[in-house]
Amino acid sequence: MKNQIRPILSLFFLFSLLTGVIYPLLVTGISQVFFSKQANGSLIEVNGVSVGSELIGQNFTGMQYFWGRPSATSINPYNAFDQETLTGSSGSNLGPLSRALFDSMQERIDYLYKADPEITIDIPVDLVTSSGSGLDPHVYVASAYLQIPRVARIRGMSEQALTDLVDQFIEKPLFGDAYVNVLMLNLALDGIKLNK
Residue 134 placed within a domain: yes
Residue 194 is assigned to a structural domain of this protein: no
The total number of structural domains that make up the chain: 2
Global pTM exceeds 0.85: no
Whether residue 146 sits in one domain with residue 101: yes
Beta bridge partners of 50: 45
Which helix (H) or strand (E) segment holds residue 131: the answer is none
The rounded average pLDDT for each run of 10 residues, N- to C-terminus, in the chain (196 residues) is 84 94 94 88 81 81 89 55 56 76 87 89 87 81 94 92 94 92 91 62
Q: What is the domain range of residue 172? A: 42-189
User: What Cα–Cα distance (Å) separates residue 71 from each residue in 78, 142, 181?
Assistant: 8, 19, 16
